[in-house]
Amino acid sequence: MIMYAYAYNKLVYGFQEISATEKFLKYLNELVYCDEEGQKQEILEMNEIIDGMNNKEFNAAFTKGLFNKVHRMIEEKKISMTIAVELLKHIGYCKVLKRIWFRGFEESSLNQRFKQMIIEEDKKKEERNEKLLTDLCECHLLLNRRASSELFSIYVPYLLKVAMNKEESEENQKEVEMALLALSNVDRFCRLDEELYLNEIKEIIEYHQEHHNLTRLAYQSAWLFLMNRFYFNYSESKVIANKLHFMREITRELSELSKCVDWKKRKKEVKEKRRRETKEVCMIWRWLDGILYLFRPPKLRNEEYSGLISSIVQVFRDAKDNCGDICEKCIFCIRTAAKNRAVKVDDLLKGEAIDLILEEIQRQTLNNEITNHGLKFFESISMRLKEETYNEMEEAKRKELKRKVLKSLKKKDTKTSSQVFMKNLIFSTKNIMMHFR
Beta carbons of 179 and 138 less than 8 angstroms apart = yes
Task: Assess if residue 139 is contained within a domain.
Answer: no
Range of the domain at 247: 242-265+275-387+396-437
Task: Assess if residue 160 is contained within a domain.
Answer: no
For residue 316, what is the domain's CATH number?
1.25.10
Burial class (CB in 10 A: 0-12, 13-18, 19+), 242: middle
Give the C-alpha separation, 413 to 153, whole Å. 59
Answering whether pTM is above 0.75, one says: yes
pLDDT at 403: 65
Integer angstrom CA distances of residue 335 from 292, 350, 375, 376: 10, 15, 9, 7
Residue 189 exposure: Cα atoms within 13 Å on the Cβ side = 4
Nearest residue to 31 (alpha-carbon basis) of 88, 80, 95? 80
pLDDT at 9: 45
pLDDT at 277: 80
pLDDT at 299: 52
pLDDT at 136: 95
Beta carbons of 351 and 313 less than 8 angstroms apart = yes
Task: Assess if residue 428 is contained within a domain.
Answer: yes
Task: Assess if residue 342 is contained within a domain.
Answer: yes
Task: Assess if residue 198 is contained within a domain.
Answer: no
Q: Tell me the mean pLDDT per 10 residues along the chain, length 437.
A: 44 58 93 92 94 89 95 95 95 94 91 93 87 94 83 93 93 96 90 88 95 96 90 67 85 94 78 73 94 68 81 94 89 90 83 88 70 86 68 60 59 48 52 51
Task: Assess if residue 35 is contained within a domain.
Answer: no
Task: Assess if residue 372 is contained within a domain.
Answer: yes
Task: Assess if residue 377 is contained within a domain.
Answer: yes
pLDDT at 418: 47
Q: How many domains does the chain have?
A: 1
